[in-house]
Amino acid sequence: MALEAPAADDQQPPIAFTPPFGINLFVGQAVFRLPLAEICRGTLPFIAAAIAALAVVSYVPQLSLALVRWLY
């Protein structure tokens, strides 16, 4: 079974949400020939979700300690 690359219409910018963010943005810009501002706008919902998750885990200690309490 051969793997085929997706059609040009189906490709999405490759955004990996791990450091180094800047390199991933520049790779997406080079591969898809999009302006950097457009790629950055596309990452904003993911960054907002990560910040919201960080805030919830930081300010609700029961969530961050649940696994520790469950294991011990």
Residue 1 banded pLDDT, cuts 50, 70, 90: very low
Report yes or no on whether pTM surpasses 0.75.
no
Mean pLDDT of the chain: 77
Question: For residue 3, what pLDDT band results from cuts at 50, 70 and 90?
Answer: very low
Is 59 among the domain residues? yes
Averaged pLDDT for residues 3-25: 60
Q: Please check whether residue 7 lies inside any domain of the structure.
A: no
Number of domains in the chain: 1
Least confident of 2-6, 33-37, 59-63: 2-6
* 34 located within any domain: yes
Q: Is residue 50 part of a domain?
A: yes
Residue 60 covered by a domain: yes
- Residues 6 or more apart whose CB falls under 8 angstroms from that of 14 comprise 24, 27, 28, 31
CA-to-CA distance for 24 and 3, rounded, in angstroms? 24
Q: Residue 30 is part of which domain span?
A: 18-71
Does pLDDT of 15 surpass 70? no
